[in-house]
Structure formats: C-alpha cells, structure tokens
Structure 1
Amino acid sequence: MTNLKIKELLKNWNIEGNLTWINNNSWDVSDSYIIKCYNKQEELERSIVLLGALKEHGMPVAEIVPLKEGENYLEREGVYYLLTRKLPGSSIVNLREEPEQIYGRMGKVIGKLHIALRELEAFLDFWDNSLLFEMKGWIPETLRKADWKYIGSEAYEETVNNLGAIYEELPRQLIHRDVHFGNFLFEQGEFTGYIDFDLSQKNIRIFDIAYFLLGLLCDENHYGADREKWFDLVAWVIRGYEESIPLEEVEKTYLNTVMESIELLFTAYFLSVKEDRLAEDSVQLFYFIKRNANKIREKALDSDIM
C-alpha cells in the first residue's frame, strides 16, 4: 500500500495531511489521526464494537472518525479501512523512572482494562477461545508434523497435563490478547490510552499478564531488564495489577504453566509458517520458564515484594 493511495482514500473523510508509516497496516496522518487497514471484515467490526463500548464506559480508547456519509469504515477491493483520532502519548521506549514504578503502573492499567472488559462482555459477542483446547488440538498436531523439532513430546505432555489439571479453576473473561508496551500509551509518565483490540477474545484472564511478561523476556535489551531482574518484574506487574483487581491464588501459582503454554503456542505457530529461528527462540523461552517455575511462583505469590 502506497502513501499516494492512502492519501486518495483519506478524501472519503475530507481529510488531508502528511503520512507517516507505522507498520504494515497503519499510518499516522499529520500526528492527528491513525488510518488502519484490515483484510478481515469481522475482525474490523469486532474492534469497532469494542472501541465504542469502552469509549461509552469512559475508558481512554481511540475515537472512530466516520466517513463523510456517516459509515464507520471504508471498503475498497476487499480491504477495509478505519480512521481514528490519535490518542496522546506513545509507548514506553526507555525506563527513565524506577522500573518498579513503570511495571507496577502497567500491571495497574491492565487490571483496570480487565475490570471494564469483564463488565462489558455480557453485551458483546466475541470469540470464546480456550488455551487448553489449543494445547490439545492444533498445537500438538503441528509439533507432531514437525517431528517434535526443538522440543520433546514429554516436555509438552507435562505442561498440557499441568494446565489441564487446573484449567477450570482459572477465571475467564474478555481479554485484550495482545498486551505489550506498544499497545499501551503514556505521556510524561501518565497513562493515556489503550490501542489495538484486533485480537481480543474470551479466554483465561491470566493470559494477558503472562503474555506481557513473556514479551519482556523476548525484548529484554529494549526494556532494560536482564533475565535475573525479570523475576522482580513478575512481582511488580502482579502487585500493580492487584491494586486494580485481585488475582486468584491459582492464577499466581500456575502463572508459569500458562507462560509455558503460550511459548508452545508460539513454537507451533512459527513452525507452521516456516520461521524455524523464531520457533527455536520460543522453545528456549519455554525451557527457561520451566527451569525457573518455582522462582516465578514465589515472586507471583509474594505480596510484600522488596
């Protein structure tokens, strides 16, 4: 998609401006708007419904800018375009504050989002997904097809059995499903907004926290936390989260099992798209979590950290 084509499409909103490419499907328009394209109409419409509901609920999310004719989005040749007003702030790119404050704040805003999503989910129709179902379905099928490359079937079986033993005890609700610093905006240390609900689904609540913490391990150099310091981040994020909403003891006790399951999910996904190096990276993280299960559990359960 060229900038010239995007500029032409913006005429449908009576908007002109300078374009800055953000990623494969998003552009900044004069630092005032974001235009994003979707290949799946149902994904776009889910995002529109959730943005509208969260906005009405008083949550800081992007406002949708309607077309001249009043529609919420534009369709051209099977591609769908959504324009929203740009929220103030940006993702955290360095840690000028004390890390405990940064990660505690992230935990708190994840918790606030979960409260809002839980209150809204009864009125919204979202995919009801199950991490356990995936762990017993397409994930092992993919790993078997790859002849258990990089990971042994015994390690997989141990994790899926551990998850299955407690899965029904884990609280479920509508979650963000793509929690990382890039989707949470801050300005001068203050939280300013949530973005990108394209992957939102109903699943176990602890998934969002586990996913966020694993992302910090994947990008430890960028966010300034080496692997030994990362264990403190587990504690800080959970303590911040519980300023908003308490976690169940089972969620904290089996946080490591959910993390292992997510890395198995990524391993299978990367193998399925022939990204062997990324699959191998995911396996390494899987074994790191497995080796340090007790330490993760200890940090997650300790409410009087540092």
Structure 2
Amino acid sequence: MDTIQALQKSIDYIEENLKTEIALSELAEISGFSLYHFCRLFTSYVGMPPTAYITKRRLYHGIYEIQKGKKATDIAYMYGFDTYAGFFKAFKKEFGCSPSKYLKLNTAKRPMAVDLMKEVKIMLNQTQIKHLLSNWNIETKGILIKNTRPNVWTIGQDYIFKTGKNVVGLKSHIAISKELEKGGILGSIPIKTIEGDDFIVEDDRYYVLLNRIKGESLAVERLFGEDRYIIGIKYGEAIGNLHKVLKKHDTKIEVNDNNLLKTTLDWALPQTKKIMEQWNCPLPDKFYEDYIENFSRLYDELPRHVIHRDPNPSNIIFHNDMVSGFMDFDISERNVRIFDPCYCATGILSESNGIEDNFEKWNEILKGIITGYDNVCKLTASEKLAIPYVIYAIEMIFIAWLNGKEEYKDLAIKNRKMLLTIWENRHKYFENL
C-alpha cells in the first residue's frame, strides 16, 4: 500500500465519523504510521494538519445541514463544538462571515468525499525520479535533483522534469515552444525519450524532460528595485516579441478559443461580487456597472490571437539582464492579446508582499510593461482604454477560482486586496497609460 492509499483510509474514516470524537492516534493506526509520521505526512499531502482538516469538514457538513433547515445550535453540538460560539468563530475564520450571511450569499453544496489521488500533488523521491529518467538517454549518477515547484524538478543545470495529468496542455506547450524556437525565441523544448517520443505516460500521468532555458526568473526585490520601470519595459517588449511570433503562427496552433468578457460576466463577476461581500470588502455597485458598460462596448474591437495566458514572472527567464525565454505554455489559449501584459503586471504585484510601498512602486512597473509592449506591438486606442477592465477581469477570475481552495488562502486574501486597491486608485494607475 502506498502513502496516498494509506492516508485515504484516514480521510474516509474522518468523513464517516465527523459527528463523533476522532483521536489522532486512531487515524495514525488506521493509516499504519506512527502518530508523528502520520501528522507530518497528512499535513504534507493534504495541505493542512489533520485537526484543521477535521474542523473544515465539520463546517462544510454543518452549513449544508443548516441550509436544509436544522437549527444552527443543534448542528454545532452535533459536530463536536462545545458551544455555538465556538462553531461561529471557526466558521467565520474559514468563510469570512457568519453562517446566516453566508447562506444569504451562497447555496451550500452537499460535501463530496475527498479523493486524495485527484487532490494532492505527486510526491516523488530521488530514486523514483531516477527510475523514470531511465527513459531518457541522460546520465543521472551524482546529478543534483531539486524540487522547485509542485510537480517540477530541476535535473542538474540542463534539464527540467515535469509531471501532470493535462496531456492536452502539455501538447500545446510543446507545439508552441517549437514554433517559438523557429522564430528565435527560447522555450522549454522536450528532450526525446530513448524511444523517440516527446514524453511518457504512466498511470494517467505524463512525465516530460525539458531543456532548461539559460538564466533565472527575477527575484521580487529586483522587480521592485530602483530600475523597476526599465525592468517593466523589458517584460513588455519581450511579451510583444513573443506575440509577434504567436500571431504569425496563430492558425497553426491548436488551443481553446476563449472569450474574456463572457467568462467574466457569466462567472467571475457574479462570484466576485458575492465573495467580496462575504469577506467584508465589498466593491461599490459603480465598479460592476462601469465594468459591464465599458468593457462590453470595447471588447469586440480588441485584437485577438494565441496568447501565453500565464506570463507571471516565474515563467519569464532573464539572462545577462535581458529576457532569454518563456516557460509553461500549458494553458495557452486564443484571447485578447493585452491579457498577457496585464497578467504579467498583476503577477508581479501578487508577489510583492514584504515590499515597502509596493502599490506605489507597482505603478511604475505597470507603466513600464505597457510602454514596452506598445514599443513592439502598437496598442490600439480601444486597447489602451480596455487595460483597466482586463486587469479587473484577471483579478475577478483569480478571486473566483481561488475561492474555497485552502492551499491558496493567503493568495485569495491578497487578490481581494489587490482588486480593491487598484479600483480605489484607478485614476493614478490608468490615466497616463
């Protein structure tokens, strides 16, 4: 039995016994680990300690039963809280508001059982990775293997090893990277396996070995340094050069064709409105009215082609103080082209915790990115007017997508603050773009 299967036993036991006292020692015994080892593994794989997970599941089941008509005080006691005040406090910490306010804004869904195989990131040790790498003709003896991001490892200085389940996204990344290489822009090209394939598939997961682009992504301190406006220009020009190649090969690249306006109006905007109210940071009605009226008017005039879709600073590599390449085209799509420079700007802001006067300094970075992009891909008058609305759309999509994802709780808080601050300071950020 592997670790995930063992932990799944404890997950199933928790789900069946939420209305009784659950001892951690019981869960450890069910999983076949010592108490210390169980708590460490559970936290690593699930993303929170077992006690926090139990409380969260009780809250989700509790609010569902309250919605069905049961008394909140009875539910609190039924799910192991000593008082209703204790239930209320835990609920507000998890959802940002009282149970009654939550149910005014949302419909509580029946909690579904958790399947760890679908939920957790894969955890591979060095031996397992080296075994998988035997599918490629590379030397692994003595090589440094470093886990840099979930499901991503650097292999020495020359390679990146990735795994995931989105094979369609991987194929998009490979196709785009190969077209970029023809256009003189570096992307992470797959290294052929011994059998001559771009990647391997085992147990519904792909494994791919990519060449490592020379250089590094810029640290946040550098992004917000004295030359932040110049750095912004370099990002903008690099995205512009990327877009020139993507536009040239637009008809050859198979990706989803998405409509940013429709995605926002049908899903992200109504979700954001509820979430911002729920977490006591509501935006005025004027924000939503202005967005709907003006972005709807501008949208059809905005140029479209294949875009990167995720040009956050960790996916843009610098070498010798210049952009040397782009990574991760897995979620590339066809959409309005100004999405990418706007996304790059918001991605930089989202990483700025701990930076003094980060919103003030970001103003210069944003202007640099837009100026740099305009230097290469001349912006239309409609695009310049649409920049605020594209940035609002990006933030609303993030806020809606992050909602309820425990592992991204801090990022969700950050993006709610970002949207509110950007809107409140819109004249400063957008008037002189």
TM-score, structure 2 as length reference: 0.65
Q: Contact 2:233 / 2:368 at 8 angstroms: preserved in 1? A: yes
- Partners of 1:215 and 1:84 lie apart in 2 by 24
Report the CA distance between 1:79 and its aligned residue.
Answer: 0.5
**For structure 1, which runs of at least 5 residues remain unmatched after alignment?**
301-306
Q: After the TM superposition, which parts of structure 1 deviate over 6 Å for at least 4 consecutive aligned residues?
A: 222-225
**For structure 2, which runs of at least 5 residues remain unmatched after alignment?**
1-123
Q: How big is the alpha-carbon RMSD for the aligned residues of Structure 1 and Structure 2? A: 2.3
The answer for the alignment partner of 1:122 in structure 2 is: 251
2:402 counterpart of 1:270: yes
Bigger radius of gyration among the two: 2
Among residues 54, 67, 70, which one is paired with 2:193 in the alignment? 67
- Partners of 1:221 and 1:277 lie apart in 2 by 11
**SS at the partner of 1:254?**
helix
Report the CA distance between 1:19 and its aligned residue.
Answer: 0.8
Q: How do 1:44-59 and structure 2 match up within 5 A?
A: 44-59=170-185
The answer for the alignment partner of 1:287 in structure 2 is: 420
**SS at the partner of 1:137?**
helix
Judging changes above 3 Å, is the alpha-carbon distance between structure 1 residues 72 and 276 closer, same or farther for their aligned structure 2 residues?
Answer: closer
The answer for the alignment partner of 1:303 in structure 2 is: none
- Partners of 2:410 and 2:295 lie apart in 1 by 26
Judging changes above 3 Å, is the alpha-carbon distance between structure 1 residues 181 and 152 closer, same or farther for their aligned structure 2 residues?
Answer: closer
- Percent identity reads 29
The answer for the alignment partner of 2:86 in structure 1 is: none
* CA offset digits 1:85-120 (Å, max 9, x no partner): 111100111427722321111111011001111111
Judging changes above 3 Å, is the alpha-carbon distance between structure 1 residues 97 and 148 closer, same or farther for their aligned structure 2 residues?
Answer: closer
Q: Contact 2:309 / 2:333 at 8 angstroms: preserved in 1? A: yes
Deviates more, 1:163-172 or 1:219-228: 219-228
Q: How do 1:36-115 and structure 2 match up within 5 A?
A: 36-93=162-219, 94-95=221-222, 98-115=227-244
**SS at the partner of 2:240?**
helix
- Partners of 2:414 and 2:175 lie apart in 1 by 36
Among residues 215, 231, 234, which one is paired with 2:347 in the alignment? 215
Report the CA distance between 1:168 and its aligned residue.
Answer: 0.7
The answer for the alignment partner of 2:67 in structure 1 is: none
The answer for the alignment partner of 2:300 in structure 1 is: 168
Report the CA distance between 1:72 and its aligned residue.
Answer: 0.8
Q: Which structure ranks higher in relative contact order (CA pairs < 8 Å, sequence separation ≥ 6)? A: 1
Judging changes above 3 Å, is the alpha-carbon distance between structure 1 residues 222 and 9 closer, same or farther for their aligned structure 2 residues?
Answer: farther
Judging changes above 3 Å, is the alpha-carbon distance between structure 1 residues 212 and 52 closer, same or farther for their aligned structure 2 residues?
Answer: same
Judging changes above 3 Å, is the alpha-carbon distance between structure 1 residues 107 and 146 closer, same or farther for their aligned structure 2 residues?
Answer: closer
2:358 counterpart of 1:226: yes
Equivalent pairs, count: 300
Q: Contact 1:20 / 1:28 at 8 angstroms: preserved in 2? A: yes
Q: Contact 2:228 / 2:364 at 8 angstroms: preserved in 1? A: no
- Partners of 2:193 and 2:210 lie apart in 1 by 11
Judging changes above 3 Å, is the alpha-carbon distance between structure 1 residues 245 and 70 closer, same or farther for their aligned structure 2 residues?
Answer: same
